[in-house]
Amino acid sequence: MSNSHLPAVLQNLSLPVIASPMFIASGPALVKAQCKAGIVGSFPALNARPAELLDTWLTEIQAELEEFRQANPGAKVGPIAVNQIVHQSNDRLAHDVEVCVKHRIPIIISSLRAPPKEMLDAIHSYGGIVLHDVISIRHAQKALEAGVDGLILVAAGAGGHAGALSPFALVGEVRKFFKGPIALSGSIATGDAVLAAQAMGADFAYIGSRWLATKESNVDEAYRQAIVESTAADVVYTNLFTGVHGNYLKKSIVAAGLDPDNLPQADKTVMNFGSGGGSKAKAWRDIWGAGQGVGLMDAVLSVPEVMEKLKAEYAAAKLRVGV
């Protein structure tokens, strides 16, 4: 599959995979392991708290990856991506973008709203690119009008904040007007699903929940075990906890004292990233995000072990369909 239309930073990966940034779960240990495995490693800027920690994290990650490159000259090392929440509730946005520009972070993943021109100009000034995540055709068109370089299509079944459209419909319609980089998100947990994403027109699989059940993720052991013990039927789609619809594990909702089958609707005008429904539980920390692909994960592995499995499945799928 030709990748000549892709930015250089995305052309030399060991698999066509971008690891999605996950609140709380994605920290330096996970990102470094993902990049060393040859895929895009990412984390939300807001995971680094207080704000001053973002500079420390990026310094640490970049130094270790450079050391790894020097020790392994033939290895494919994936680029770092940092997720920025473009929303009025994020009072750190200007600071966090400035830190990323200082470190010349090659990929910025913007979420919720299309990034403003000054943010895009700052990232483009040193050759960085911006990928924006969307759940609808309208959002995709608005992001491209704003000047983003690529799109992350968040289809039905994705973990955390997710859309409701079939990936076949979403990718197909976007490809009618956009020929640039596209990553697809939504229940992708195996190597054959990575190939399927490419077959329908995406360039990359955008994988999140698969990394939750790894030894490097920054989550409680109970969360890891809940991932490997759950199936798609244990995932609940609701906007209660943040004001934006997303997928969460039923087990964590029950533990918070709520009825997962009778959750109220949240006020869509409020983005709270916190508690909901009268519960003291907080999204991401207590209410665990997860995609519908959890039923395909049956063990807690290290990132290298997950990558080995994904590569084998991807190669087998290519043989199966004669690619």
Q: Does the N-terminal peptide bond of residue 50 adopt cis geometry, omega within 30 degrees of 0?
A: yes
Average confidence score pLDDT of the chain? 93
Q: Give the pLDDT confidence of 161-179 residue by residue, as tens digits.
A: 888 999 999 999 999 999 9
Percent of the chain surpassing pLDDT 90: 86
Q: Are residues 15 and 311 in contact, defined by beta-carbon separation less than 8 angstroms?
A: yes
Confidence category of residue 267, pLDDT binned at 50, 70, 90: low
Domain 8-214+310-321 coded CATH 3.20.20.70:
yes
Domain layout of the chain by residue ranges: 8-214+310-321, 231-289
pTM value? 0.93
Q: What is the pLDDT of residue 266?
A: 73
Q: Give the pLDDT confidence of 22-58 residue by residue, as tens digits.
A: 999 999 999 999 999 999 999 999 999 999 999 999 9
CB within 8 Å of 250: residues ≥ 6 apart = 230, 234, 235, 236, 260
Percent of the chain surpassing pLDDT 70: 94
DSSP state of 97: H
Using CB atoms within 10 Å of the CB of residue 264, give its burial: 0 to 12 exposed, 13 to 18 middle, 19+ buried: exposed
Using CB atoms within 10 Å of the CB of residue 86, give its burial: 0 to 12 exposed, 13 to 18 middle, 19+ buried: middle
